[in-house]
Amino acid sequence: MKRVAILGANGQVGSEISLRLRNVEGIEVVPIARNVSGSAFLRLNGMECRHGRVSDPEAARSLIDDCDVVVNFALSNTGIPRIDRETNRQIVRSVVASAKPGAPIIFASTIMVYAPAMKFWFPDSYGMEKLIAEKIFRRLCRASHHPAFVFRLGHVMGELQNITRKIRSQIRNGRVALPHQGLRASNTVFTATVVEVITQIAKAAATPGTYDLMTVPQWTWVEVYKYYAAQLGLPLQLVHAKQVRDPTSDSYSTSGAMRRLLGYLSNHHGLTERLTFFLAFLPQSVNQRMYLRYLQTRALTEINALRQREMVDVCVDDWRELRVRTFRPMPDPVTLMMRYPLPSELEFSGSDQNGS
């Protein structure tokens, strides 16, 4: 029996991984949370948990030094960058220092290190911090002879994940708008795939290294939405590109100098009145044309507001398709989700019937 510690078991990913690992043969899962309120959900679902601060080396030792594999999903996220940086790096140092000698350690990183939302490589602070933490982790593991696994996770899909609730809600609500008609790779990974990876590492059937943890071959967004639509027994109603609101585009707004001029004039009545005096010197046909042009601009502005109101926001981020450095050939997510199911009667998991 291999004992697998899940640090940050109170989080969305940590909770679901713990629950799915629970009935895997040959694995004893040890969820670890900082305090009892963090672990309440798991405990009320019948899991024994350990409690303590893994950033504290003393506490970390008592929490994980009897575990054969350590999976680190722990993340400080106070919103104060300085505190988060120090805590997250301290967690890495503390975990590597406290793990049982030779025990594989998995560090959960993110595909944000690739800056997928950008056309060029310029990660956000979350991606950059994870990237630096990866380097610290690898260096410390090399020095302490721990097999080091870095997994850069894509969007994690699963029953307890917010993104899954959101997708289901969007499907229920009807119209779904996806960038590039949903044909671009989604950079997603299912929780069961993460469980499969942990299981293989626990069985010593994996080579340490840095991997991208995404479904291979990648699922497109349409495939992801179709998967959940089929689960819900609902049709997937994809909207046409013309019905999609593009926050970066101003194509529907009345463009150009005329709108700006009319907008400016409407706020400067003194100027408008003086211009009107001069307008009266122009021929009647020009006067009429200008008036009708004003009405046309006004109509278009109001109609555009209506069009914008009735358009659908794009449901997912328009990220780059990432080339995956795959861990190893894996079964497809549908097979894995069935292989590693959640307990059938999950308490307090919350309903996503009304999720936004």
Partner 1 sequence: MPGGSDTRLLSVGVVGASEIVSRIHLPVLTACEGIGIEYVADKNPQAARSLAGSYKLTPITVLDDLDQLPKTDVVLLAVPVTARLPYYEMFARRGTCVLAEKPLAVCIADAEHLCNLYPDYSLACGFQRRTYSAVVLARLLVAENWFGPLRSMSVSEGALTTKTGADSRFYDDAISGGGGVLMDLGCHSLDMAMYISNAIEAIPTERRFVYDGGVDREVQARLALRTANGSCDLDYLVTWLRSAKNAIELRFENCTVVLPCRPAQELEIRGTQNATFSPFLMMKQAGAATVYQAFYMEWMAFLDGVRSRQASKFNARSCLSTIRAIEALYRAGTPS
Q: Toward partner 1, which CB reaches closer, 274 or 293? A: 293
Piece of the chain touching partner 1 by CB under 8 A; list 86-94, 129-137, 184-192, 306-314 = 306-314
Complete DSSP assignment for 105-166: EEEEEEGGGG-TTSSSS---HHHHHHHHHHHHHHHHHHHHT--EEEEEE-EEESTT-HHHHH
According to CB under 8 A, which residues from 215 to 244 bind partner 1? 240, 243
190 within 8 A of 257, measured Cβ to Cβ: no
Residue 249 interacts with partner 1 (CB under 8 A): yes or no: no
Residue 305 interacts with partner 1 (CB under 8 A): yes or no: yes
Place of tokens 């609500």: 173
Residue 69: DSSP 8-state: E
| Angle (deg, nearest 10), helices 81-98 and 125-144 | 20
Residue 296 interacts with partner 1 (CB under 8 A): yes or no: yes
Residue 255 interacts with partner 1 (CB under 8 A): yes or no: no
Gap between the Cα atoms of 196 and 294, Å rounded: 64
Residue 295 interacts with partner 1 (CB under 8 A): yes or no: yes
Q: How far is the CB of 303 from partner 1 (least distance, A)?
A: 5
Residue 302 interacts with partner 1 (CB under 8 A): yes or no: yes
- What are the tokens at 316? 């997912």
Collapse the DSSP code of 226 into the 3-class scheme (helix H, G, I; strand E, B; otherwise coil) and give the result.
helix
Gap between the Cα atoms of 189 and 203, Å rounded: 21
Q: Toward partner 1, which CB reaches closer, 310 or 345? A: 310
Q: Which of 120, 145, 310, 329 binds partner 1 (CB under 8 A)?
A: 310
Q: Toward partner 1, which CB reaches closer, 228 or 252? A: 252
Q: Which of 251, 285, 351, 356 binds partner 1 (CB under 8 A)?
A: 285
Q: How far is the CB of 265 from partner 1 (least distance, A)?
A: 18
Query: How distant is the alpha carbon of residue 227 from its chain centre?
Result: 18
Could you tell me the end-to-end alpha-carbon distance of the chain, in angstroms, rounded to an integer? Answer: 42
108 within 8 A of 73, measured Cβ to Cβ: yes
Q: Which of 162-173 are b and which e, b meaning 16 or more Cβ less than 10 Å from the residue's Cβ?
A: eebbebbebbee
Kindly determine how many residues on this chain lie close enough to bind partner 1 according to the rule CB under 8 A.
19
Q: Toward partner 1, which CB reaches closer, 36 or 292? A: 292
Piece of the chain touching partner 1 by CB under 8 A; list 61-69, 102-110, 275-283, 301-309 = 301-309
Q: Toward partner 1, which CB reaches closer, 78 or 251? A: 251
Residue 309 interacts with partner 1 (CB under 8 A): yes or no: yes
Residue 288 interacts with partner 1 (CB under 8 A): yes or no: yes
Gap between the Cα atoms of 325 and 246, Å rounded: 32
Residue 125 interacts with partner 1 (CB under 8 A): yes or no: no
Residue 356 interacts with partner 1 (CB under 8 A): yes or no: no
Give contact residues for partner 1 (rule: CB under 8 A).
240, 243, 285, 288-289, 292-293, 295-296, 298-300, 302-306, 309-310
